[in-house]
Structure 1
Amino acid sequence: MVCVELHAAWPLTDAASIDLRDQLLAAYADPSRGYHDLRHLAEVLTRLDELDGAGATFDRDPVLLAAWFHDGIYDGERDAEERSAAWVERALPGLVQDDVVTEVARLVRLTETHRPEADDAGGCALSDADLAILASDRARYDEYVATVRVDYLHVPDDLFVTGRTAVLEDLLAKPRLFHTAYAREHWEQPARANVSAELVRLAAAQPGGDQPGDQLS
């Protein structure tokens, strides 16, 4: 999904929202970003379309808006999701109903943990789409790992290894990575295999020190 297609994927139709869309596109296009860039945004939106086409039911507009905002702020520091949700609460009032603003902000905050409740259809869809990168083929997964490191160039290697290992171990400790029926069937096994293999590779490094503050994911 190239930038022109991303323009078309913006879920709001009124002219007043176009400036906001372009602000978000500019944020994702920041050249200092590694993984959390325009390609990531496009992949999350594509995975949401895939889930929708496979029969997952969720309220599309709030989930799509949350996908646009979920990494609107990403700098490798703490509370990026909270700061992105605060952007939602500043920018969306007047463009959508108040209850939609509340829901979009809630969904953005959920992407910090990717732990939606079973009956949270929107949360399950967004979480699954965001984590679908874990189920990529080996070449794309390796690109993902390399670009995550770019997002954390300010973190020394030993701290990065420690933090990244903790994140991956936390993922594998979950009863399931994915929450929609389609994602569990198609993405769970390859995702766990990729994460396990990355942990083996990280074990060859020399971790040390405390875990850095953000999620390294």
Structure 2
Amino acid sequence: MTSVSRTAGSTIDPVPELRTRWAATVAAARGTRRSAAPGGPPAPDPAPYADNLLSRWSEPQRRYHTVAHLAAVLDRIDELAEHADDVPVVQLAAWFHDAVYRPDRSENEERSAALAERALPELGVGAARTAEVARLVRLTVTHDPAPDDPDGEVLCDADLAVLAGSPDAYAAYAASVRDEYAFVPDADFAAGRSAVLRQLLALPRLFRTPQGYDRWEHLARRNLATELDLLSGGG
């Protein structure tokens, strides 16, 4: 599938395409399985599951972790697909990776992974792929996949690609993150956000796929350093 490229501030409604993509991804992840369990009844229609996930991604507390972010991550996975071992698994992990999101909670990734572990077997996705989706969702806590983890590399690169936007796009991203944490006082937010930025900048590589590194590494590090400087009062 050729996806519409999305950037920060895009006015394209991603939901219709997301529904189509979800159905195709679930079908691919099921493979030849036609039931939720061997010998059991047909697996359920994936559409209500898309409704549930899209409702989660549209919750009012979200400013950055929205359906637009989901669509952008899926687009980046398309671009990096040749590096992945199991593209449908990576795509499913993108759908679930921020499905549970509360800015004031620290267990979002774990709860999102648990949601995948409940939903995917109902949809007829096999145990091995379900476990791999949940593992990938949990990996987004650190964005630090092992060198022998191509699916983890693709998901993490796709999730972090926003860091390599143009100055205006990056500023819009940073502002939306601040909006999600509007309940946090400025000084506390600056300290917490600075710690996140330093953690990212300390990684030997932000992007682990060859294509992601070549396209996004330099721009992302420049943007992160600029934001860190601004938070530190240097700009």
Under a length normalisation based on structure 1, what TM-score does the superposition of the two structures give? 0.90
Q: Which residue of 1 aligns with 2:136?
A: 107
Matched position secondary structure for 1:119? coil
Q: How does 1:32-181 map to 2 (within 5 A)?
A: 32-52=61-81, 55-76=82-103, 77-95=105-123, 96-181=125-210
One of 204, 213, 223 as aligned partner of 1:184: 213
CA distance in 2, matches of 1:197, 1:167: 14
Letter paired with 1:63: V
In the alignment, structure 1 segments of 5+ residues that lack a partner are 206-217
Matched, 1:3 2:15: yes
One of 11, 14, 17 as aligned partner of 2:46: 17
CA distance in 1, matches of 2:129, 2:203: 29
CA distance in 2, matches of 1:94, 1:4: 23
Instruction: Check conservation: 2:109, 2:137, Cα contact below 8 A.
Output: yes
- Percent sequence identity over matched residues? 47
Mean alpha-carbon deviation: is it higher for 126-135 or for 1-10? 1-10
Letter paired with 2:97: H
Letter paired with 2:90: V
What CA deviation, in whole Å up to 9, does each residue of 1:106-150 have, x standing for no partner? 000000100100110110000000000000111111111011012
Under a length normalisation based on structure 2, what TM-score does the superposition of the two structures give? 0.83
- CA deviation after TM superposition for structure 1 residue 31, in Å: 2.4
Matched, 1:31 2:45: no
CA distance in 1, matches of 2:85, 2:159: 15
What CA deviation, in whole Å up to 9, does each residue of 1:164-199 have, x standing for no partner? 000000111110001000001110000000000001
- CA deviation after TM superposition for structure 1 residue 57, in Å: 3.0
CA distance in 2, matches of 1:17, 1:92: 10
RMSD: 1.3
Q: Which residue of 1 aligns with 2:9?
A: none
Q: Which residue of 1 aligns with 2:228?
A: 199
Matched residues, number: 203
Instruction: Check conservation: 1:73, 1:83, Cα contact below 8 A.
Output: yes
Letter paired with 2:114: A
In the alignment, structure 2 segments of 5+ residues that lack a partner are 5-13, 28-42
Letter paired with 1:141: Y
What CA deviation, in whole Å up to 9, does each residue of 1:56-90 have, x standing for no partner? 23301111000000000111111110110111111
Larger Rg computed on CA atoms? 2
CA distance in 1, matches of 2:26, 2:118: 16
CA distance in 1, matches of 2:117, 2:26: 16
